[in-house]
């Protein structure tokens, strides 16, 4: 028998974030946890005492399989930044009161680098008040921008969806015998891991995108138009992948050129969308050819019907590893994935000090991006290929993938 467990999900969801939840839940139960609670809507919901007893909602291994195949955060999520405890200890007292009431010994938070800030602050606070609750971070993000870990669960499935969709869009772009330019806008505020994954579309049966623009490199509008014009001399249908977060050298986001409106979320991040449409309108106007902007939008993070088996398996494994690390007495750490080899692809898990991970964004190395924007380096391709391998069969009922919910819907 082990102490009670509390698990939460935070930040933008992914297609496999629930597989990590399943990994935490199943491993905790197998290790003898009497109670596994789930906080609803992350730490923000917990502050409002919103939580549930997972045993009352997950009744069988079949339901665990369904949970692994359900996109978006089963427990709901939040984008909530904890205050500095030196300035506002009240919030912390409230949280720890709830943890004590529920007799929590192990606290797991599945999220990205913003969410790891929560684990960092809670474990730091626990240290000052000499609480012995273990706080462990479980990595999750489609953006793949977490430090230390080789890659992050959620990225592989998003990359697979992007590459598969890019292949289908490229086929579609070839259908008419006329000049046309398709811009695929891909998520990624400051990092281009997802946009780079569009390059995976290239292969024996597909040329892949003709140009790729990642936020790691300044975007130059004139050079872009010139490059498109140049490529059009030899090729009628062009497909270009751009990150939503591409910026001019003065720091202006391309999508801000549309309407000069700026939205920000609670972490101060700009909400970006529209770069693709802006560039496709620009091409239509300046080059006088047909152009279309396609925003992959939230489908990138919720298309669990295209999840990668590698990703869904690793998402489960980091959840399981988090429980075992906590049982080993660890706290203030995040589970990391270490790549051992590419051929055959092998990884194991470890733990790492959360202070070296929280709030830090890992960018795509500049030498992994071809300078002429025509593709990604061999190193990048070798890095990303294993992550999209193999498929998970959705449980199809009536022709559609089935999902699980804690309330009826």
Residues belonging to the binding site for diphosphate are 12
The count of residues interacting with a second copy (CB under 8 A) is 65
The two structure tokens encoding residue 210: 């003709």
* Residue 308 lies near a second copy (rule: CB under 8 A): yes
**In whole angstroms, how close is the CB of 274 to a second copy at the nearest point?**
9
Identify whether 143 is a catalytic site residue.
yes
Residue 371: left (phi > 0), alpha (psi -120 to 50), or beta?
Answer: alpha
Residue 308 or 331 with smaller CB distance to a second copy: 308
**In whole angstroms, how close is the CB of 38 to a second copy at the nearest point?**
14
**In whole angstroms, how close is the CB of 20 to a second copy at the nearest point?**
15
If DSSP states are collapsed to H, E and C, what string results for 78-110? CCCCCCCCCCCHHHHHHHHHHHHHCCEEEEEEE
Helices within 180-235 (DSSP H only):
193-197, 221-231
From residue 58 to residue 97, the character string flagging contacts with a second copy as x (rule: CB under 8 A) and all else as - is: ------------xxxx--xxxx------------------
Q: Binding residue for a second copy (CB under 8 A) from 2, 47, 206, 225?
A: 206
Task: With CA atoms as reference, report the closest residue to 225 among 236, 240, 207, 237.
Answer: 240
| Site for a second copy, residues 232 to 271, rule: CB under 8 A | none
Interacting stretch for a second copy, rule CB under 8 A, among 37-45, 82-90, 210-218, 249-257?
37-45
Q: Which of 53, 117, 124, 143 is catalytic?
A: 143
Kind plus residue range of the DSSP H or E element containing 287? helix 275-287
**Contact criterion met (CB below 8 Å) for 118 and 43:** yes
Interacting stretch for a second copy, rule CB under 8 A, among 27-35, 36-44, 83-91, 320-328?
36-44
Which residue ranges are tagged as binding site? 12, 113, 141-143, 187-189, 244
* Residue 399 lies near a second copy (rule: CB under 8 A): yes
Which residue ranges are tagged as binding site for Mg(2+)? 113
* Residue 45 lies near a second copy (rule: CB under 8 A): yes
Q: State the helix-helix crossing angle for 61-68 and 17-30, rounded to 10 degrees.
A: 150
**Contact criterion met (CB below 8 Å) for 10 and 141:** no
**In whole angstroms, how close is the CB of 253 to a second copy at the nearest point?**
17
Q: Binding residue for a second copy (CB under 8 A) from 249, 268, 329, 409?
A: 409
* Residue 295 lies near a second copy (rule: CB under 8 A): yes
**Contact criterion met (CB below 8 Å) for 361 and 191:** yes
Q: Binding residue for a second copy (CB under 8 A) from 142, 242, 294, 318?
A: 294
**In whole angstroms, how close is the CB of 86 to a second copy at the nearest point?**
28
Residue 7 or 133 with smaller CB distance to a second copy: 7
What is the C-alpha separation between 160 and 25, in angstroms, rounded? Answer: 26
Task: With CA atoms as reference, report the closest residue to 235 among 208, 214, 200.
Answer: 208
Spatial neighbors of 215 by CB under 8 A, at least 6 apart, are 188, 189, 190, 191, 192, 243, 245, 246, 247
**Contact criterion met (CB below 8 Å) for 46 and 82:** no
What is the C-alpha separation between 228 and 181, in angstroms, rounded? Answer: 8
The two structure tokens encoding residue 11: 């930040």
From residue 331 to residue 370, the character string flagging contacts with a second copy as x (rule: CB under 8 A) and all else as - is: ----------------------------------------
Which residue ranges are tagged as binding site for substrate? 141-143, 187-189, 244
Q: What length does the chain have?
A: 409
What is the C-alpha separation between 28 and 185, in angstroms, rounded? Answer: 40
Spatial neighbors of 319 by CB under 8 A, at least 6 apart, are 19, 20, 21, 22, 23, 24, 25, 27, 108, 110, 138
**In whole angstroms, how close is the CB of 300 to a second copy at the nearest point?**
10
Q: Binding residue for a second copy (CB under 8 A) from 82, 201, 211, 358?
A: 201
Q: Binding residue for a second copy (CB under 8 A) from 56, 130, 175, 222?
A: 175
- Residues acting as catalytic residues: 143
Positions touching a second copy (CB under 8 A) are 12-13, 40-41, 44-45, 50, 70-73, 76-79, 160, 163-165, 167-169, 171-172, 174-177, 182, 200-201, 203-207, 292, 294-295, 297-299, 301-306, 308, 385, 388-391, 396-405, 409
């Amino acid at each position: 028998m082990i102490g009670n467990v509390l698990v939460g999900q935070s930040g933008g969801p992914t297609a496999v974030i629930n597989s990590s939840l399943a990994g935490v839940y199943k491993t905790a139960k197998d290790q003898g946890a009497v109670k596994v609670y789930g906080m609803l809507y992350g730490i923000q919901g917990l502050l409002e005492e919103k939580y549930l007893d997972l045993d009352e909602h997950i009744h069988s291994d079949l339901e665990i399989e369904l949970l692994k195949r359900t996109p978006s955060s089963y427990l709901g999520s939040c984008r909530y930044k904890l205050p500095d405890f030196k300035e506002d200890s009240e919030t912390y007292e409230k949280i720890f009161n709830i943890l004590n009431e529920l007799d929590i010994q192990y606290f797991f938070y599945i999220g990205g680098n913003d969410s790891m800030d929560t684990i960092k602050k809670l474990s730091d606070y626990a240290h000052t008040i000499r609480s012995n609750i273990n706080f462990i971070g479980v990595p999750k993000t489609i953006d793949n921008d977490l430090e230390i870990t080789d890659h992050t669960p959620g990225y592989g499935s998003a990359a697979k969806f992007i590459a598969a969709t890019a292949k289908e869009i490229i086929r579609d772009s070839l259908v008419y015998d006329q000049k046309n330019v398709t811009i695929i806008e891909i998520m990624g505020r400051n990092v281009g891991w997802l946009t780079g994954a569009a390059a995976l579309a290239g292969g024996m049966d597909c040329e892949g995108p003709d140009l790729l623009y990642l936020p790691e490199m300044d975007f130059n509008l004139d050079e872009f138009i010139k490059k498109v014009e140049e490529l059009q001399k030899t090729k009628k249908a062009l497909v270009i992948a751009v990150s939503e977060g591409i910026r001019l050298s003065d720091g202006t986001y391309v999508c801000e050129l549309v309407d000069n409106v700026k939205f920000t979320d609670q972490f101060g991040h700009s909400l970006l969308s529209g770069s693709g449409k802006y560039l496709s309108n620009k091409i239509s106007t300046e080059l006088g050819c047909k152009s279309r902007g396609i925003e992959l939008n939230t489908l990138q993070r919720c298309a669990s019907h295209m999840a990668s088996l590698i990703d869904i398996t690793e998402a489960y494994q980091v959840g399981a590893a988090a429980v075992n690390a906590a049982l080993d007495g660890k706290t203030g750490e995040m589970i990391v994935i270490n790549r051992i080899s590419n051929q055959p692809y092998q990884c194991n898990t470890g733990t790492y000090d959360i202070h070296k991970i929280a709030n830090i964004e890992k960018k795509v190395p500049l030498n992994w991006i071809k300078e002429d924007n025509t593709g990604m380096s061999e190193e990048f391709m070798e890095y990303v290929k294993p992550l999209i391998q193999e498929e998970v069969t959705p449980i199809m009922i009536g022709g559609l993938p089935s999902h699980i919910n804690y309330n009826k819907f």
